[in-house]
Amino acid sequence: MTDRDDNPAAPGGLPEGFDSEADLGEPGSFPFTRGVYRSMYRGRRWTMRQYAGFGTAEDTNRRYHFLLGRGTTGLSVAFDLPTQMGLDSDAPMAAGEVGRVGVAIDTIDDMRTLLRGIDLGAISCSMTINATAPILLALYTAVADETGVERTELRGTVQNDILKEYIARGTYIYPVEPSLRLVSDLMAFCSRELPRWNTISVSGYHIREAGATAAQEVAFTLSDGIEYVRQALARGIALEDFAPRISFFFAAHNDLLEEVAKFRAARRIWARTMRGRFGASDRSCRLRFHTQTGGSTLTAQQPMNNVVRVTVQALAGVLGGTQSLHTNGYDEALALPTAEAAALALRTQQILAEESGVAKWADPLGGSFLVEHLTHRVEAGALALMERIEGVGGASRAIEFMRDEIHREAYRHQLEVEAGTRVVVGVNRYATEEDHEPSPGPDFRRLEVRQAAALAAFRSARDGEDAGRRLAGLREAAGGEGNLLPPMIDCVKGGVTLGEISDTLRTVWGTYRDPA
């Protein structure tokens, strides 16, 4: 079942069997269909983030200060592919990729530079990182320790969602089981040391960007979330110690009302699942989520049209009750966003918050025949898919099923675009002959050479024997059952690099081989 509807007529009534008390309730009350907080944005605006990472830590730090000066209320870090894949910038496999899609972070020096002049006790920081999430959190924690910020004051999110990498994105390193161990280790560590940190952001965004429908995005994301709950419980972590810190990350695409319905359906399914399957408290049943506007919906043709797309998508996130929002720059289909585009994207959120009036109401579309019908439809489609995933043993055993489902929908979508039955303004309708050249970006070859030189200088200045001893301790811990976050923090404080930590784990666990 997909979430498409060939009947364009709006329904004339509420869905069959609809129970306003059981299915809706009040904002802030179970099953949280209408939002996770009673006052929603009247009490506190959503966190306004701008996802950024540019080549070097120094360049990215400048962009963060630029955004903070214009009203951003949280940082969101994009890392380059070598960092995501556990490779130092001078590794042969990193050649040509250093700094291209985000910031290169090899050492604690890089993390110090990235965060220079930013009060870690006053802001929240979201890091989009998965296979190497524990290492990046270790670096962040180490810098906080150095600057005197108490670990209990650190606020933010680390994505730490490795299953969606196997399903939709591909930046995995290790086999599934040790990767899930790292996820659980991070959750357990934060429950003890970083109680305000969101230990996992279960990501539907990349699933949707790979081609999934709205119902598939909900189903596959929540199934991954269920798997992480099971893994944590199997490690002996008490449900109420970690479940309230699970957050989610969804895409917002162009079908405004379906996207609003998607967010509402996801909250309802998660609440009922957590209570019915795990006996969770209301606090642990709340689905809190970050939203990013759809990168795959941006077009290189007529890029100013993307301003409208981003506005519609951001409005869907707000009407759907998001807790945090990133709006894409209109020029991101061409190159890294310019400062001008990033500022306009932020102003889009601020206008929605301050001028549109939508922030005055919790779930302003709730009760609409159409919105309740769409919510019910997305929910039914997602639940049917989740049942199939459970039938094969859960998300960790259903990777190929979910991957195949996404591929089929992506192919169908592309055929519709090429046939013109799915309109993309400026691409297959209302197209012009205008060309838009991307603004000149960084000299990546020069950047790579500079990053490699800094890395060599860092290694030569450290105590190599001490670094080796710390790595040996990590290797021993990886072969046992203890939590790996403390030895990782010990390593980075001793000058061990991200690539050296990852290589040590590779020697113990090996790497994932795609069965396809």
Q: Provide the pLDDT for residue 12.
A: 75
pLDDT-derived band at 43, boundaries 50, 70, 90: confident
CA distance 229 to 270: 12
In sequence order, the β-bridge partners of residue 203 are 249
Q: What digits encode the pLDDT tens for the residues 220-240?
A: 999 999 999 999 999 899 999
* Helix, coil or strand: residue 156: strand
Q: What angle do CA 386, 388, 394 make, to 5 degrees?
A: 70
Residue 366 has pLDDT above 50, yes or no: yes
Q: What digits encode the pLDDT tens for the residues 367-382?
A: 999 999 999 999 999 9
pLDDT-derived band at 438, boundaries 50, 70, 90: low
Q: Provide the pLDDT for residue 16.
A: 87
DSSP string, 383-399: HHHHHHHHHTTSGGG-H
Q: Provide the pLDDT for residue 2.
A: 44
Q: Provide the pLDDT for residue 1.
A: 38
Query: If you average pLDDT over residues 9-34, what whole number do you get?
Result: 88
Query: If you average pLDDT over residues 168-193, what whole number do you get?
Result: 95
CA distance 122 to 72: 12
Q: What digits encode the pLDDT tens for the residues 129-140?
A: 999 999 999 999
pLDDT-derived band at 9, boundaries 50, 70, 90: low
CA distance 495 to 460: 10
pLDDT-derived band at 401, boundaries 50, 70, 90: very high
Residue 433 has pLDDT above 90, yes or no: no
Global pTM value:
0.91
Compute CA distances 448 → 16, 56, 444, 494, whole Å. Answer: 60, 9, 6, 24
Residue 443 has pLDDT above 80, yes or no: yes
Residue 467 has pLDDT above 70, yes or no: yes
Query: If you average pLDDT over residues 440-465, what whole number do you get?
Result: 92
Mean pLDDT score across all residues of the chain: 94
CA distance 451 to 100: 12
Q: What digits encode the pLDDT tens for the residues 87-104?
A: 999 999 999 999 998 999
CA distance 104 to 110: 8
CA distance 318 to 320: 5
Residue 336 has pLDDT above 90, yes or no: no
Query: If you average pLDDT over residues 439-462, what whole number do you get?
Result: 91
| Of residues 136 and 6, more confidently modeled | 136
Q: What digits encode the pLDDT tens for the residues 271-327?
A: 999 999 999 999 999 999 999 999 999 999 999 999 999 999 999 999 999 999 999
Residue 207 has pLDDT above 50, yes or no: yes
Residue 435 has pLDDT above 70, yes or no: no
Residue 149 has pLDDT above 80, yes or no: yes
